[in-house]
Amino acid sequence: MDKSLKTVKSKAKKGQVAVRLDSGIIRACFPRTHFAEEKQVKLSTGISVTEGWEVKAGQLQRRLQIELEEGKLKDIEGNFNLVRYREILEEYGLRAKLRLVEPVNNSNETKIDLSLLEIWDRYCEYRRHSLAETTYILKMRRHFRNVIEKGITSIGEDGKFTPISFRHWLITNVNLETAKNVLQHLSRAYDLAVSQGIVIKNIFKGLADEVNVRRKTKVIKPDEYVNEDVDILDRNKAFTWEEVEEIINFIQNNSRISHYYYYTKFKFLTGCRPGEASALWWSDIKWADECLLIRRTYNEHLKIFKSTKNETIRMFPMPKDGELWQLIKLIPEGEPNEVVFKNRQGKVIRPTSFFHSWHGQDGSLGIIPTLIKEGKVSKYLPPYNTRHTFINHQINEVGIAPHIVNAWCEHSEEISREHYRQLDLKITPGYKKEKSESQSVNSEIEILKEQLKRQQELINRLMEGR
């Protein structure tokens, strides 16, 4: 066992956690200097004094030391976070009767005077490690907190603010879904505060129950065809491929926005989401395998890269010397962890900045309004509809099976991946509409021949490996 671990009946080094035998019980002893409590925090660990207890104690000590150094064992007031300590014990399968050091004052109750926002902040910190970073920062710490703060300011705290008046303000001033979410979280925040002895009761309990989020009921007739992807396959929400070429040419030949050329064309050629295109790294380009990987997205609000929407990795075919291959070959290759598409400053492209060029800003016409005015594009569609255009074109114009396009773009969660055939996935995207029926037939025959050839090669390899 590590000699440095203080699991014996001796003091730990200054600033370190000790897990040791103390008065017949194995306790975790925490340094006084880290917490607001005047007495040292000593807590039972639930570890039985049996042969080999030192190993468990050592493991727990290392974990507690890390948590201490990262500040997770201390709340915003500087007091010991008993809830977090209990969570750690549960992770290790330990149970213990826990009681914090008695308060210094002579009162039988711990008196802590916290405002509503302070209780909310403690709750958010408690939930932080169980939430996605975007949810924690954008929703809990920003959106919901701003709503609460605005409500407090509007009602006033001088005897006028009550849970009921706040509930009424929410229902009147924000959408019902936000109102219900805020009240639900406040109830949980007060449940936590009650368990920590900060407040006596949950004053928001049950206030969210009667807030009914109204949703429009869709009436489906028996003879209607129900399709979850009806929106993304709607031709009215996609550009024609002739319009795509006009858009790409316009961007390429306009020096003010030409840095968006590769980015825009890539989106039209792959159907990926805007954040996924911004998050493509050079390490995702697999030249030898003639494919690229879509495995992350870019959140411009937090300026971070994160997993894709469905937390999956998609493979997109990139045949050698094909249109997509040639497009990426034109871009000077950077380091493996550098983004492929950059703005004028050499940084990652923010979808919002691209939108301003696409739509127009400060009275100037954007890309699409200009092309509509020139009669080269029939209607305005937002940048996200480059995805609609690709999917619509591949399925409705080129004739590629929906489940294959879904494998490339992941636009329908209902289609099971079990049904994808490896041979099918070797089919590559098409971007040109066939000019004649005979050419189309010949093209289909060539595809079938190529599939049969690959199938035979696969069979031969399998036979050789026997």
Q: Which of 1-5, 316-320, 439-443 has the lowest mean pLDDT?
A: 1-5
- pTM, two decimals, is 0.52
For domain 235-426, the CATH architecture is Orthogonal Bundle (1.10)
Beta pairing, strands 297-299 & 291-294: unpaired
- Output the pLDDT for position 259: 93
DSSP assigned state of 32: G
Contacts of 70 (CB under 8 A, 6+ apart): none
- The Cα–Cα gap between 313 and 181 comes to 32
pLDDT for 185-213, tens place per residue? Answer: 999 999 988 888 888 889 999 898 878 87
> Where exactly are the structural domains of the chain?
1-106, 116-195, 235-426, 437-466
User: For the chain, what percent of residues have pLDDT higher than 70?
Assistant: 76
pLDDT for 141-188, tens place per residue? Answer: 899 999 998 988 888 755 577 888 899 999 899 888 999 999 999 999
Indicate the SS3 state at residue 146. Answer: helix
- Give the mean model confidence (pLDDT) for residues 280-299: 92
Whether the predicted pLDDT of 277 surpasses 90? yes
Dihedral angle, C-alpha 288, 292, 295, 301, nearest 10 °: 130
- The Cα–Cα gap between 327 and 339 comes to 15
- The Cα–Cα gap between 270 and 268 comes to 6
